[in-house]
Chain A
């Protein structure tokens, strides 16, 4: 059996046309103003935690309101991240999060590869974050 390159001229034209159409639709969406950006505040963190049946015991929210990390009443952590008009929240056991705070820059990575690393600048470093780093999660 002989294998041929599946990407012939017709396929390349099709893909080129598809790419142009994709760009057109993204352009229309942008022109129509679908560029919302949510902000995370304490109220939003409380709402997200309550939806999971837990309380927020402590939190840090990035200055721009786009990311946040919270310690929950059941010992887990919640990572919140603005996704356009939505806030995406992920709950993880403390031992699945690796925290690193250096010069007020927090860097958190997750055992679950689905969630991108969290990077945020802190105005202040609350005590609970140190406790959390030292106790529950692994801190580098």
Chain B
């Protein structure tokens, strides 16, 4: 059975958004330059981010069809014929955002998927160009499998792809330090404040706020951490890369996996290096997010409360 045709022509949403991306980046640069607040820019860092975005497009053209073929193949075995109706569109929006949440969470918690996603976190800056610092290996790393359950349920593949594009466009503007808090929107929407926490490497902020569009998933699944005005986020990855070279940015974690796997002594170590949390090692000598957070929590317990320090 052929998939039902969309009742309207789906525009190339991301392509249409590009002029707005460019304009907003230039506005942010000018604001940061002349207001001397609202973030930081460094032209080599931005060049790397933009090169990663460009490479993402190249790899998308070269390999994106694999994801599309997988979507349509799974759709052949769908459970329901949901079609294109308003209730289905609304349901698909929420389902896609939930799928994104779990993709994103697992991309941080399992090294195989982290090897692609680490690219997006590799800048020590946080501005609108960081949003475009995207992986080159997403499709080849099978990131798209997290959306396959949606088409298996019966959401049309083009509908899922449409909401994925909308989510990606939405997530562009939240990569900024120009915008503080957004009042009641902070309760339900992913905002610049929530996403700054997600990009931060401070121990208290690690592995938090995986949301795409709606922050409700983090609140629901216990991964929500609010931005604390007393602790400014520091950005990047726990072991900073120390390079602007786009090729090293794109592939270093894959090479790291390869090197670890080829030196592994047991099959269980191979599995751990590939599917364990980033930083996993057989002897526990490397740091994982969990161990960093545990060390931090221990330090917090040992440190005297602020009142005691003030009284001294």
A contact residues vs B (CB 8 Å cutoff):
6-7, 11, 14-15, 18-19, 21-22, 24-26, 28-30, 32-36, 53, 79, 81, 83-86, 88-91, 93, 111-116
Contact = CB atoms under 8 A, between A and B. Distances in A.
B22 A7 contact: no
B242 A25 contact: no
Nearest to B253: A114
A77 to B, nearest CB: 13
B303 interface: no
Contacts of A115: 239, 241-243
B33 A83 contact: no
Given A22-B51, A22-B54, A90-B242, A114 B43 contact: no
B261 interface: no
- Which of A19, A89, A115 has the most chain B CB atoms closer than 10 A to its own CB? A115
A111 B46 CA distance: 28
A26 B129 CA distance: 10
Interface stretch (B24-32, B92-100, B225-233): B24-32
A8 to B, nearest CB: 9
Contacts of B58: 15
B41 A113 contact: no
B248 interface: yes
A114 B254 CA distance: 10
A28 B30 CA distance: 9
B18 A90 contact: no
A84 B45 CA distance: 7
Contacts of B29: 28-29, 32, 34
Given A15-B57, A22-B50, 13 more contacts: A14-B15, A25-B22, A25-B46, A25-B129, A26-B46, A26-B50, A29-B42, A84-B43, A88-B241, A113-B255, A115-B239, A115-B242, A116-B245
Summarize A's interface: helix, strand, loop or mixed. mixed
B54 A19 contact: yes
A38 B129 CA distance: 21
7 contacts: A18-B18, A18-B53, A30-B43, A86-B124, A113-B252, A114-B242, A116-B245
B219 interface: no
A30 B47 CA distance: 10
A132 B47 CA distance: 37
Contacts of A14: 15, 57
Contacts, number: 110
Nearest to B43: A29
3 pairs of A and B residues whose beta carbons are closest in the complex: A84-B42, A29-B43, A88-B240
A15 B242 CA distance: 28
A78 to B, nearest CB: 11
A90 B46 CA distance: 22
B180 interface: no
B77 interface: no
Contacts of B18: 18, 21
A7 B58 CA distance: 9
Nearest to B63: A6
Given A25-B46, A114-B252, A116-B242, A33 B25 contact: no
A93 B47 CA distance: 32
B181 interface: no
B244 A83 contact: yes
A134 B32 CA distance: 48
Nearest to A27: B43
B41 A29 contact: yes
B308 interface: no
B46 A29 contact: yes
Given A25-B50, A89-B240, A115-B241, A32 B30 contact: yes
